[in-house]
Amino acid sequence: MQFHLNASLKNVHTFSIDQTCDALVEVTTIEELIMVYQDPKWSTLPKLILGKGSNMLFTEHFAGLIIVNQLAGITLTETESHHHLHVNGGEDWPSLVKWSVDRGLGGLENLAMIPGCSGSAPIQNIGAYGVELQDVCEYVDILCLDTYTVKRLSKKECLFGYRDSIFKHALYGKAIVVAIGLTLPKEWKPCNHYGPLKSLPTETLSPSTIFNEVCAIRSSKLPDPSKQGNAGSFFKNPVITKDHFDRLLALYPNIVGYESNDMIKVAAGWLIDQCQFKGVTEGGAQVHPNQALVIINYDQASAIDILKLADRVRQSVLNKFDIQLEHEVRFMGRDNETNLDRALEALV
């Protein structure tokens, strides 16, 4: 376990912005994680657990300690009706999905190629193509930072919501996800009712065919972070009332929306596209030419470039559709998490 002082963050978050932090350390065991938190040398510094850094924008130098979660290991067991996976928090999520499909395990295929690590998945309640983590989650193991003991939370206790969980609220800063438990039914049923998956022939449906289709779709629409820095979907799909949606539908018959309980979830990418932002730049930042929902590090972008471009997008959607977009990407300021308004105020 080696500490790096005044470390660059360029290679530990997928926006690949040349940002720095006071110190950085990689941990491979829970014992190392506890040692870092109990070490008096770092007791006064703000601390941030980072997985793959795939949903994080560092808006300025982080005056604290970055702890990179590299807890590895997957255990597979089974009952008569289900396969059960115990996955340590540092495991790469896309690799986990491919690992499961390669072994003929169905249930994760719709979540293919979502960047990040397994420990981040329940925090965000990641989801794609009609499936969310909560649909396959059995439990989440957390390290409680007040007692330094590991506690197991049931799916119900995680309070999952749309891109939301207890880890963003009551347990924020109080616990670290060290492992997750997933349960996959042996009697597999395809989830192919969402978007382009509807066109797959019924007779060809299998975990691998859905996995391959999702990979093909994501590869065609989303830029590879290793080639162009980005954090995937920058904004959440907004949820609006049916009345609001009906008013917009009368003006924009092609608007894309899906029922969500008594509300309508609108495709944020469609809204941004209608504001003609594809390819628009701000300094070194750009709205991706093929996917309006993604902001990329186009040419050595700074954090302020990305923030200004995000603000322009948000304001245009508000003016045109009376919808306030919320960023899905987390913003980390000098010593704590922030948001678009506060980050702009601090830097502009």
| Residues contacting 133, CB < 8 A, separation 6+ | 111, 121, 122, 124, 125, 126, 127, 160
Q: Which of 16, 120, 163, 302 is catalytic?
A: 163
CA-wise closest residue to 24 among 53, 3, 1, 44? 3
CATH of domain 226-347: 3.90.78.10
Q: Is 328 a catalytic residue?
A: yes
Q: How confident is the model at residue 260 (pLDDT cuts 50, 70, 90)?
A: confident
Q: Is 233 a catalytic residue?
A: yes
Read off the pLDDT of residues 105-144 as tens digits, 9 standing for 90 and up.
999 999 999 999 999 999 999 999 999 999 999 999 999 9
pLDDT over 70 percentage in the chain: 100
Q: How confident is the model at residue 266 (pLDDT cuts 50, 70, 90)?
A: very high
> In this model, does residue 348 exceed pLDDT 80?
no
pLDDT at 309: 98
Q: Which of 233, 314, 316, 330 is catalytic?
A: 233
344 backbone dihedrals φ, ψ, rounded to 5°: -65, -40
Class of domain 3-69: alpha beta
Q: Which of 26, 32, 326, 328 is catalytic?
A: 328
Q: Is 118 a catalytic residue?
A: no
Dihedral sign, Cα of residue 32, residue 35, residue 37, residue 42: negative
> In this model, does residue 184 exceed pLDDT 80?
yes
Q: If you ran DSSP here, which 8-state letter would residue 182 be given?
A: E
In three-state secondary structure terms, 272 is helix
For the chain, the domains span 3-69, 74-218, 226-347
CATH of domain 74-218: 3.30.465.10
Mean of pLDDT values over 328-337: 94
Q: How far apart are CA 194 and CA 201, in angstroms?
A: 14
Mean of pLDDT values over 213-232: 91
Read off the pLDDT of residues 194-205 as tens digits, 9 standing for 90 and up.
878 999 999 999
pLDDT at 240: 97
- Specify which residues 21 forms β-bridges with: 7, 62
Q: How far apart are CA 229 and CA 241, in angstroms?
A: 34
Q: Helix axis angle, 340-347 relative to 303-321, nearest 10°?
A: 130
